[in-house]
Amino acid sequence: MGWMHTARFLTTAPRLEFLPAHEHPEIAFVGRSNAGKSTCINTLTQQKRLAFASKTPGRTQSINLFSLGRQGITDAVLADLPGYGYAAVPKQDKVRWQQVMANYLVTRENLRGVVLLCDPRHGLTELDEILLEVIRPRVEQGLKFLVLLTKADKLNRVEAQKALSIMRLQAGGGEVRLFSALKKQGVEETAHLLWQWVHPAAEAAPGQ
């Protein structure tokens, strides 16, 4: 999927509330700390160190934006958001983070889609559920929404099918896919779906 491979660093914001405005459709990668957001972006874009992935939960502190588009012409922006729910974070910080996150999801004008990454071995966390509630009205108004069950390589076939059916019930009609950065599972399908989010009018995808 050539389009995804055009990803390049656009800008970074120290905190969500300082995220600069831009005129392109934005796709946000959200999910609990350590769910695999940064790894997912690196896998989709086929760039090893575009987003900074790490074994240490809470690695992504600032928000990084990446531009997509051929010939240097940006037609979409990916946002790698800091994970939430990291146990070592003090409670008051968690509450504040929740508010900032909710504010972003509700007010970000050109937000076209949300990719929620969830490690199926943990299932949806309380904060994931809150996030689902927050975006529900926007999803009803056309915001695109995908749940990626990450680290699918850690599940056997039966576990994977079970995780998929449980999440389909919880995702309220949203799309759910298995994803593994390790085994490159779900990569092409996800890239194609995101392309369609950004180019809804295009029937085929010439030269993707």
Ligand X SMILES: Nc1nc2c(ncn2[C@@H]2O[C@H](COP(=O)(O)OP(=O)(O)OP(=O)(O)O)[C@@H](O)[C@H]2O)c(=O)[nH]1
Helix (H, G, I), strand (E, B) or coil at 65: strand
202 touches, from Mg ion, ligand X, none (C-beta below 5 to 8 Å by class):
none
The two tokens of residue 27 are: 């796709």
Helix (H, G, I), strand (E, B) or coil at 64: strand
Provide the minimum distance between the beta carbon of 181 and Mg ion in the complex, in angstroms, as a whole number: 12
Per CB under 6 A, contacts with ligand X among 179-208 are 180-182
Provide the minimum distance between the beta carbon of 200 and ligand X in the complex, in angstroms, as a whole number: 28
How would DSSP label each residue in 4-61?
Answer: HHT-EEEEEESSGGGPPP-SS-EEEEEEBTTSSHHHHHHHHHT-TTSS---SSTT---
Q: Burial-class residue 136 by CB neighbours within 10 Å (0-12, 13-18, 19+).
A: middle
Q: Interface with ligand X by CB under 6 A: which range of 3-11, 16-24, 34-42, 137-145?
A: 34-42
Instruction: Give, in order, the Cα–Cα distances in Å from 156 to each of 22, 52, 150.
Output: 42, 28, 13
Residues 140-159, one symbol each (x = binds ligand X by CB under 6 A, - = not), give ----------xx-xx-----
Does residue 25 bind ligand X (CB under 6 A)?
no
- Selected binder of ligand X within 10, 22, 47, 57 (CB under 6 A): 57
Residues 66-105, one symbol each (x = binds ligand X by CB under 6 A, - = not), give ----------------xx----------------------
Under a CB-based contact definition with an 8 Å cutoff, are residues 153 and 142 in contact?
A: no
The contacts of residue 118 (CB under 8 Å, 6+ apart) are: 31, 32, 35, 124, 128, 147, 148, 149, 150, 167
Under a CB-based contact definition with an 8 Å cutoff, are residues 9 and 38 in contact?
A: no
- Selected binder of Mg ion within 6, 34, 43, 60 (CB under 5 A): 60
DSSP state letter for 62 = S
Does residue 172 bind ligand X (CB under 6 A)?
no
Per CB under 5 A, contacts with Mg ion among 117-136 are none
Q: Interface with Mg ion by CB under 5 A: which range of 60-68, 90-98, 172-180, 181-189?
A: 60-68
Q: Judged by CB under 6 A, how many residues of this single chain contact ligand X? A: 24
Provide the binding-site residues for Mg ion, judged by CB under 5 A: 37-38, 60
Binding residues (CB under 6 A) for ligand X: these are 31, 33-39, 53-55, 57-60, 82-83, 150-151, 153-154, 180-182
